[in-house]
Amino acid sequence: MQEATARLDIEVFVDCPNCDFMIDLMKEEDTGGYNHNDEGHVISQACPQGNWYEEHKEFEVSEVRCSKCKTEFNVKGLDW
């Protein structure tokens, strides 16, 4: 029997509160060229150890800049 390797793709989306553009916090091209996942900041909050429900209430990303309209905003909380 043949084997295959699985692939995990992680995307963390937020809609810009100004223009409703869908932003992937994992992609610099969506966040005005800034890497919000530097040192695993976004991924460690999105996939935490322990109870995800409780941890996702504390999810935060500051100073996100929409690449479409240039609005800057903060993200608080994560639905999944």
Q: What is the pTM of this model?
A: 0.86
What's residue 53's pLDDT?
86
Does some domain include residue 57?
A: yes
Residue ranges in the chain modelled with pLDDT below 70: none
Does some domain include residue 5?
A: no
Quote the domain boundaries for residue 33.
20-76
What's residue 27's pLDDT?
96
What's residue 73's pLDDT?
98
Is residue 74 within 8 A of residue 61, CB to CB? The reply is yes
Q: What angle do CA 12, 44, 40 make, to 5 degrees?
A: 85
Does some domain include residue 3?
A: no
Does some domain include residue 46?
A: yes
What's residue 80's pLDDT?
81
In the chain, how many domains are there? 1
